[in-house]
Structure 1
Amino acid sequence: MTKFGHYVRGALVLLGGPVLMLVVWFTVPLQIFGPHNPVLSWTAFAVALLGLAALLLRQIWAELSGRTDRHPVVGISLLMVASMLVFATCYLALARDQGQFSGQLTTRIDALYFTVITMATVGYGDITPSGQEARSMVMLQILYTLIFLTAGATSIGRRTRIVIGRRLGHEPPDGPSRTP
């Protein structure tokens, strides 16, 4: 595959991947999760979040180590979207338990909206976590965002600077000097 084809394929995956993920998320039945099935709900959430964190770390490591045989930027971006969908699913399930949220959180759009607003740390105040489980999840999402998603975004920015620098004829720096 040519270098141009390589970039086109990556761009298609980068744009089409999140769209496909959203289409699947909006069509897959999620009623199995919620207060009526807490063991399954919490287990699925924990496994999904730990798995996504491990995959994110793997992709970030691939980017930092300079492995160019893969598309770490595309992988990191898709994993970031998947993380948002996992949190949105969790919020949707928690909202089925009265008293976890004040405000309107009844649809998938509401759950995705709340997830993005929380991730961006904007917090419009129209939906607020009022139950202990919901507040715990919001704190976990903020910590997850600060640790994993910020690291992912940083490595995407690093890769972008390197690619642009190479196109402009500049070699990327090797990193900080280790001489005393």
Structure 2
Amino acid sequence: MSGDGSGRRRHVHILGHLVCIVGSPAVLTALYYVAPLDHGFNDLSFGALLGGLVLFGALVVWQASAISRSEYPRLRAVEALATAVPLFLLLFSASYVLLSIGNPQSFSEPLDRTGALYFTVTVFATVGFGDIVPTTPTGRVLTTLQMVADLVVVGIVAKVLFGAVRIGLTRRPGKYEQ
């Protein structure tokens, strides 16, 4: 390490990224558990889901730009994923909670927040254990929307973020990279 403080600055910078990588999902999950999700799924809820997905897309675009300019693009990409993916999953999970509250027969069992989050992650991971399934047309449409959006997230978003990492790395030739 040099005596000019650059080593310390680098460690502080890396620590900041690590705090965001752990903190973002924790804060988003905490907000999900305290959000007022006590009304049923309606047009306003669907609009909020679509608005949240637009916000998610804007976040990914902004994150890609930040990654390509970052001193540590790989860490910045992990930070972006640690924020964007939980946001994406929690948007659908909240929608499933609202749908289940408005019509408990929408799924094979009524969903609370934890059950909805579990269902969302099993759909995202394409595991589909079959223990919770959508049983109404609205539930099936919403789940289908998530499956299509999952493919977009896994394919396009990952390509965009990792492309931004590549750009960021080429902008800093020979520099030590984390």
What are the equivalent positions in structure 2 for 1:67-82 lying under 5 Å apart?
A: 67-68=69-70, 71-82=76-87
Q: In the TM superposition, what whole-angstrom CA distance separates every residue of 1:124-161 from its partner, at most 9, and x where no partner exists? A: 0010011111111111111111112443445359849x
Matched, 1:93 2:95: no
Partner residue in 2 for 1:133: 138
Aligned equivalents of 2:154 and 2:87: distance in 1?
11
The structure where helix makes up a greater share of residues is: 2
Which one of the candidate residues 11, 18, 21 is aligned to 1:4? 11
Aligned equivalents of 2:115 and 2:163: distance in 1?
30
Aligned equivalents of 2:65 and 2:105: distance in 1?
41
Matched, 1:57 2:64: no
Which one of the candidate residues 24, 27, 39 is aligned to 2:34? 27
Preserved contact between residue 89 and residue 111 of structure 1 (Cα < 8 Å): yes
- Consecutive unaligned residues of structure 2, counting only runs of 5 or more, are 1-7
Per the normalisation by structure 1, the TM-score is 0.76
Aligned equivalents of 1:170 and 1:61: distance in 2?
19
Per the normalisation by structure 2, the TM-score is 0.76
Higher RCO (Cα < 8 Å, 6 or more apart): 2
- Consecutive unaligned residues of structure 1, counting only runs of 5 or more, are 173-180
Partner residue in 2 for 1:108: 113
Preserved contact between residue 100 and residue 130 of structure 1 (Cα < 8 Å): yes
TM-superposed deviation, 1:61: 5.0
Which one of the candidate residues 18, 21, 33 is aligned to 1:14? 21
TM-superposed deviation, 1:83: 0.8
Aligned equivalents of 1:17 and 1:106: distance in 2?
25
Question: Runs of 4+ in structure 1 displaced over 6 angstroms?
Answer: 169-172
Percent of aligned pairs with the same residue?
A: 28
Q: Aligned-pair RMSD on alpha carbons?
A: 3.0
Tell me the secondary structure at the aligned position of residue 69 of structure 2: coil
